[in-house]
Structure 1
């Protein structure tokens, strides 16, 4: 780990905050596809290792930076709006701020409001230097921790996903107020799933994972499906009801390469899609920072595949 890598990670975290965590992740998908094509054509994984999953667009750097920066910006926005609401009471406002209270000025800044759980929004709009610095610092921490997980401790898991989960939880406790599992209204079920809904998800999860497993084995690239799924998130920006599927395709890719079976890839992809539904409701609903459902799902099932099953095959 060099100082140049740390500098690059700081830039990746800042850029992830600047353009938004999800936007940076879409770029991960595009560069992942380019890297996969290069790897198949020439055998070089340089684009995959150094760009798509390196300090530029690696989720453990750019996405982690974007998530942390959004959490920080959301906390600042919440305080600003609380101040604006407080100033609607002229008696209290005069007591605290004197005759120079300016409620209209605070309301005029509402265009900079950020929902800390929304990582699709580019934080460029905040024009807040601290937002970028938070992104950069978390980018550095992300690359360092992923290095520890993968190269020092050598944990048999998808260490990028594990790093994303680690810093999402840290972000929640540092900048959030909703607790790890959110604050649900009393009249709302935490897991309102029907058999039909779960069957629908199981079908597309199984089918997609079988396809991903076949493709991953054919090309010898475990993250080809992941890159396609990441790229497809661009359609969310058009307001479409579009599936988030990269947890399914990455788990399938791990299973396909580690276990050499598209059938097992399809099976584990089915497990991943159902797991994801419960994880989303448990950790990322009614919250004020983002805890990434796909990263939790990938981390869990990759450990089962790589750490529990693969060593015995």
Structure 2
């Protein structure tokens, strides 16, 4: 395709992501991904996934990036209350400059991803890395006031008194219903286990092998549609995708898939507290988890010579994660009990 035409189309993709909102564009990425998988499974030769779901139309490095950057810019210009608002369709703000920013970031996201993929395409998930890089750029320009220190946000005195940025007792969280270690481990085991199972099945069939790692991600991304209606559901696309990467890296081992899911859950939550929670622009926590989780299983896992033929090590890791979540749950309960102020005795007349 002509270079100028591709740049124009990527601008359109980023602008469209801004028009409908980053979250809606990502949901449509999931929907079109599932459609593309069905097309591939039925023997279709057209690369619908690469051209549409992960291409110029709904590729997260283009469309979602455009929506995220435009929201941060809209907040800076006083059109949104929060730069993290990736649900609002920004065309409703009636300012085409905001949509233009989305388009420019869509084009830049395409160029960045193409550059990274040219030398590191087989090392990690380059789309996730691009989403992270572009989010940091938009944060630096529109939220951090051109300050590198501002990329990490500002921790309030209340948060510091509660134990700091990473404390379990801090109110600063990415997802309130996936806050505790037990919640993260439980969701990871459930969503990651299902994704690992389906990935293993699809890897065994030559007709579906090429799209095996994408199924869980597609379901998880599509499920975020419910967030648009105010229904709090778990965010799991980082969990299901890293789980699938782990299954593929281990030769179809479901237990390693669950390990990957747990790692993704904790990584995304921890990195959310570094870049996302304490600022006022969206730095996508799942993208950060996928970025590092994919590198661990696509690159580090084979280099370390870890065998997927034995279940001992992954089961041990899962057991440790469950035990850790139980212990932390008990400790948190004790701390909450200690922090409760005893009621004053009632006077007797």
TM-score, with normalisation over the residues of structure 2?
0.76
Partner in structure 2 of residue 58 of structure 1: 59
Is 2:258 the partner of 1:266?
yes
- Residue by residue over 1:87-120, the C-alpha shift from the partner in whole angstroms, topping out at 9 and shown as x without a partner, is xxxxxxxxxxxxxxxxxxxxxxxxx434211111
**Segment of structure 1 superposing worse, 187-196 or 171-180:** 187-196
Partners of 1:210 and 1:40 in 2: how far apart?
22
Is 2:214 the partner of 1:223?
yes
Partners of 1:167 and 1:26 in 2: how far apart?
19
Bigger relative contact order, structure 1 or 2 (CA pairs below 8 A, ≥6 apart): 1
Query: What RMSD, in angstroms, separates the aligned Cα atoms of the two structures?
Result: 1.9
Is 2:43 the partner of 1:42?
yes
- Residue by residue over 1:108-156, the C-alpha shift from the partner in whole angstroms, topping out at 9 and shown as x without a partner, is xxxx434211111110122112111111111111111111111244350
Q: CA deviation at 1:11?
A: 0.5
Partner of 1:42, secondary structure, is: coil
Match of 2:84 among 95, 110, 117: 117
Q: Which runs of 5+ in 2 are unaligned?
A: 170-177, 203-208, 308-349
Match of 1:193 among 168, 193, 212: 168
The number of residue pairs the alignment matches comes to: 279
Task: Please list, as runs of the form range in 1=range in 2, the aligned pairs for 1:285-300 lying within 5 A after superposition.
Answer: 285-300=277-292
Partner in structure 2 of residue 236 of structure 1: 227
Partners of 1:306 and 1:293 in 2: how far apart?
20
Q: Which runs of 5+ in 1 are unaligned?
A: 78-111
Is 2:181 the partner of 1:181?
no
Partner in structure 2 of residue 302 of structure 1: 294
Q: Kindly indicate which of the two structures has a greater share of residues assigned to helix.
A: 1
Q: CA deviation at 1:43?
A: 5.3
Residues 124 and 295 in structure 2, CA contact (< 8 A), matched pair in contact too: yes
Partners of 1:57 and 1:196 in 2: how far apart?
30
Partners of 1:45 and 1:149 in 2: how far apart?
25
TM-score, with normalisation over the residues of structure 1?
0.84
